[in-house]
Amino acid sequence: MDMTFHGVSSLRGQVEVPPDKSISHRAAILGALAEGETVARPFLRSGDCLSTLNCLRELGINWKLEDDALTIEGHGPEAFRQPHDVLDAGNSATTMRFLAGVLAGRSFESVITGDESLRTRPMGRIIEPLRRMGAEITGSEDGTKPPLRIKGGPLHGIEHLMEVDSAQVKSALMLAGLQADSETTIIGGRSSRDHTERMLLLMGAELSFGDDAITIKKSSLESREIAIPGDMSSASFLIAASVVIPGSRLLLKNVGLNPTRAGFLSVLNSMGALIIEANYQEMDNEPRGDLKVSGTQLSGIELEGWRVPAMIDEVPLLAVIGCMARGTTTVRGAGELRVKESDRIAAICTELRKMGARIDELPDGFSIQGPNKLRGTQVDSHGDHRIAMALAVAALCAEAETAISGWECVDISFPGFDQVLMSLQGM
C-alpha cells in the first residue's frame, strides 16, 4: 500500500503518542511469569505486541485485552505449557528473543518462527549463551537463523560478556537467569535500554549491579499494576518533524523519559533544537513527562561511541534531520542497524538519495552534507516501520508529493501515524 505526503509549512498541536512498545512487551511476558493478576495500561495494540500475546496464549497463559487494559493471569514459570503448534513471532525480534529466554528453562520442546524478515535476523547472540546455561537450541541455515527449536530444562547460571549493547539479548539472558539454579552475571550492555531491569525490580526480582555488570538470581515475581508511558521511539518522529519545520509548535503528553531511551533528545539539543521537558514524574520505576517542541535551524553533529546505543532506533531518523541541518552530520558505530527489520543504513541512504539528499553510506553509518532541498518522489519503506516513518518526515520537508510504498508496516509500532501527521497540519 502506498501513502502520499506533501510538504507543509508547519506542524502545530497536542498529541499523546502510542503506549511504549518495549514496556508493553515486557509487561505481558513478566506478567505471565509472575504470581497473580498483572494489569498493564495503556497497552500497545500493535502487530509486534499482539504477536507476543498470541504466543503466550499458545503457551497456556490466559489474558484479556479490553480497551487499552491488558489483564494477564500469572502462575509462575511452571504454568507455561508445551504449545500444540509452532509459535509465530510475526515481525517481532523482541518476542522471539524474550521467549527464547523463557522457554530455555521450561521442560518441553517448542519451535518459534516469524515472518520472512524475522527469519533473516541473527539469533546466535542468544543461542550460544542459552546453550551454555543448559538449553538445547538449534536454528536453520548456519544454525543461527529462525525458526528456533528449543528444548528447555534445568538451567545453570553463567557469566556472559556481551559482544554488543543489545537490550534484547540482555533481557533474554535475564529471563533465563530467573529460572537458573545459580547466579547469572551479564557483563556489558548497561547503556542499552533498561526497561527489563526496571520492571524486574518492580516485581521483586533479585538483581544487583556492578561496574557495567548485572547479576540476577532465581526469583519469584509478584504481579503489579503497571502504567505504561508514551513511546519515545514513536514520539521521536513527531519531534523530528517539528524541529526541522520552522514555525512548528508541538506538545507531546506523557512521554517516557527513560535515560536509556532519551539519547535522541540529547543529540537534538546538541544540534540546537528547542525542546522543553515539563511535568516530570516517575511511576512504576519509569520516568515520564511532557515535551514542548519548536521548529528551528539545526547544525550538523558527529555521533559515535556510547551515544549510539542510546538512540539506535532513531539513527535513520537522524539522517533525515541531517538533511535539513547546516553543515555535516556523521554517524559511526551503528553497524547493528544492518541486521534490523531491514538493513536500515542502506535503506535510508538509498531512499534519501532519491529525494536529492547528499548522503554517503559508511560501513557502520552515514555522512550527510546539509542543508538539502528535498524533492518528492516514489520511495520504498523496505517493509520497515521506522524507515517508512522517517521517510514521511522527509516528505513533509520536500517539494511536491512523495509516495511511500509498503506503508502498512507502520502498524507494527504506530498505528494511525499518518492521521496524526495530517491532524497537526490543520492546527
121 is in an annotated binding site: yes
Is 142 flagged in the annotation as binding?
no
- Supply 137's cell numbers: 537450541
168 is in an annotated binding site: yes
373 is in an annotated binding site: no
Q: Is 208 annotated as a binding residue?
A: no
User: 420 φ, ψ to 5°?
Assistant: -60, -45
Nearest residue to 121 (alpha-carbon basis) of 85, 94, 161: 94
**142 catalytic per annotation:** no
A 10 A CB-CB count for 122 gives 14
Catalytic residue among 194, 231, 313, 418: 313
- How far is 216 from 358, CA to CA, in rounded Å? 47
The reply, when asked if residue 26 is annotated as ligand binding, is yes
Q: How many CA atoms lie within 13 A of 353 on its CB side?
A: 11
Find out whether 198 is annotated in a ligand binding site: no
Ligand-binding annotation for 22, yes or no, is yes
Q: Which residues are catalytic?
A: 313
Residues placed in the known binding site = 21-22, 26, 121, 166, 168, 313, 340, 344, 386
Residues placed in the known binding site for phosphoenolpyruvate = 21, 121, 168, 344, 386
Residues placed in the known binding site for 3-phosphoshikimate = 21-22, 26, 166, 168, 313, 340
